[in-house]
Amino acid sequence: MKNRSDFGLGRVGIWSFDLDVQPMAKAQEAVIELEELGFRCVWVPEAVGREPFASCGLLLSATKKLTMATGIASMHARSATTMAAGWKTLTEKFGDRFLLGIGASHQHLAEKVHQSTYEKPYSAMVEYLDVMDNAVFFAAQPTTPPRRVLAALGPKMLKLSAQRGLGAHPYFVPVEHTVMAREVLGPEALLAPEIAVVFDTNATSARETARKHMATYNRLPNYANNLKRLGWADEEICGADKLPSDKMVDAIVAWGTLETIVKRINDHFDAGASHVSVQVLSSEFGSLPSAQWRELASTLASFNS
């Protein structure tokens, strides 16, 4: 399965919120280095950080070949017509170097941050995509077809991602989800899971770093329900202390040596992934994990062979 098409994204990309925390000039320097290291795709989120279309435009302008992808742009943050306009604007300038990842987000973000309504996310996404695809756009048209993926976890959204885009960008998933997702998507669609990693061989401190990251997600219904669908128990996902078990931590976050982390990435490829975006976690919030990115880059040739 390792020879599956990566749609020009490279086998391994970088997923980073840390870029949002830097001044833009420093973020641009960071993506220039990532491009020089051989990474072909960098994913940036949308929640309470930078506006992703503006951010991707600035980061794309600083680089020559790198693809910027949104992981994900929220359908609640802008109308479908505005989403389509931003998508086409960046594609007109940068072609295949921009990949729109779009998702239904989460109820608390939709309602509290965007003052939107969070109901029937699958049906809402279908309607949203219909409006996007029929949106009026009188500006200069892109000369290459705009590309998009959906943030998808469950079978229905996974199927939709293959029908209405290149495929899926699952987040916060263990390897067994990649197995299931590939079965649902079929052989040709892009499957680009995100995985979090900690470059730390001490089990106590590595899991502590991982738990700080996971505490943002393990209580959100979308992620918890996805893990339960895969057979994980409530107490493993979010125990009495509101934290995940060691077993759950180890399934979501790869920690240890570079060799251990590379093995987990390869596990996702063996399970059917076509591209894996790696989020390097650090105990220091907002610091760029440049040294760890360089370590990971030293293994890129082995993934692409």
Q: List pLDDT tens digits, range 205-259.
A: 999 999 999 998 999 999 999 999 999 999 999 999 999 999 999 999 999 999 9
User: Is the entire prediction scored with pTM above 0.85?
Assistant: yes
> How far is residue 287's CA from residue 291's CA, in Å, rounded to a whole number?
11
**Long-range contacts (CB closer than 8 Å, 24 or more residues apart) made by 159-165:** 159/184, 159/185, 160/122, 160/125, 160/126, 160/129, 161/185, 161/189, 162/186, 162/188, 162/189, 164/129
Q: Is the dihedral of CA 136, 137, 141, 146 positive or negative?
A: negative
* DSSP 8-state class, residue 70: E
Domain ranges, ordered by start, for the chain: 12-304
> How far is residue 111's CA from residue 163's CA, in Å, rounded to a whole number?
28
Look at residue 110 in the predicted model and tell me its pLDDT: 72
Look at residue 1 in the predicted model and tell me its pLDDT: 44
Give the residue-averaged pLDDT of 255-274: 98
Highest CATH level, class, for 12-304: alpha beta
pLDDT at 2 exceeding the cut of 90: no
What φ, ψ does residue 12 adopt, rounded to 5°? Answer: -125, 125
C-alpha distance from residue 153 to each of 125, 167, 172, 253 (Å): 14, 12, 9, 17
Helix 155-164 to helix 121-133 angle, to the nearest 10 degrees?
Answer: 10
The model's pLDDT over 9-29, given as tens digits with 9 standing for 90+, comes to 999 999 999 999 999 999 999
* DSSP 8-state class, residue 140: P
Least confident of 79-93, 99-113, 276-290: 99-113
